[in-house]
Amino acid sequence: MAKPSQVNGKFVVLGVTGSIAAYKACLVARRFMELGAEVYVMMTQGATKFVTPLTFHALTGHVPVVDMFEPRTDWQIEHVYLAAKANLVVLAPCTAHVIGKIANGLADDIVTVTVMATQAPVVIAPAMNVNMYQNSIVQENIVRLKKLGYIFVGPTYGKLASPLEAEGEGRLAEPEEIVEQAVKLLASPRRLKAPR
């Protein structure tokens, strides 16, 4: 069980991508907050179709970043700020699309740009259709990222959103498990390294 002493005062950047499981990211954010972390949320445009930025603003006290080109009054370059401040970056849920972009060095939204710019460790919690998850290209991308030092949590086997596949591998790991694994990473200096 994660303890507040392991997380208190840490700067956690939570990236939310366009999956039906995006609602569970609210529970991930909430749990990190309960443990005393400072949580900042970044969202892809797709994620906003499932959960509104207002929800994360209410949960964390910080306005989520969605558009990296949105004018700022404080001249702060958002992805650089988030990348530099982060003690840990957690992508939950993370789609096959975003996994593919990261694996191939593509950075064209606030989530992928921040991941590319950070020196903090990155935890990825995939969520997708079972056939997408089992696709050889997706699996190759995951293997590549693991070799580079990215930490994966899940996915798990269970009920999926699609009525065509009632069950299968691809379900987002439970929020508590995602947070537990992330906290273990923060508490273990030997594992606390940025992907390369």
Confidence of residue 156 (pLDDT cuts 50, 70, 90): confident
12 close to 39: Cβ distance less than 8 angstroms: yes
190 vs 164, which has greater pLDDT?
164
Instruction: Decide if pLDDT at 77 tops 90.
Output: no
For the residues 144-162, what does the mean pLDDT come to? 84
Distances (CA, A) of 79 to 43, 56, 115, 186: 12, 18, 9, 21
Q: Which residue ranges form the domains of the chain, and what is each CATH number? A: 13-156 (3.40.50.1950)
Closest to 63 measured CA to CA, from 45, 41, 85: 41
64 close to 43: Cβ distance less than 8 angstroms: yes
Confidence of residue 157 (pLDDT cuts 50, 70, 90): confident
CA dist 119 and 156 (Å) reads: 28
59 vs 190, which has greater pLDDT?
59
**Per-residue pLDDT tens digits for 78-101:** 557 888 899 999 999 999 999 999
For the residues 35-63, what does the mean pLDDT come to? 95
- Percent share of the chain, pLDDT over 90: 68
What per-residue confidence (pLDDT) applies to 3?
Answer: 61
Confidence of residue 44 (pLDDT cuts 50, 70, 90): very high
**Per-residue pLDDT tens digits for 105-122:** 999 999 999 999 999 999
Confidence of residue 103 (pLDDT cuts 50, 70, 90): very high
Instruction: Decide if pLDDT at 163 tops 80.
Output: no
Report the length, in residues, of the chain. Answer: 196
What per-residue confidence (pLDDT) applies to 169?
Answer: 81
What per-residue confidence (pLDDT) applies to 192?
Answer: 46
Instruction: Decide if pLDDT at 49 tops 70.
Output: yes
* pLDDT, mean over the chain: 87
CA dist 170 and 11 (Å) reads: 28
Residue 170 has a CB neighbour count (10 Å cut-off) of 27
User: What pTM was estimated for this model as a whole?
Assistant: 0.88
User: Taking the CA atoms of the chain, what radius of gyration do you get in angstroms?
Assistant: 16
Q: Which amino acid is at 59?
A: L
**Alpha-helical segments (H) within 4-155:** 4-7, 24-34, 53-60, 78-85, 96-103, 110-117, 130-134, 136-147
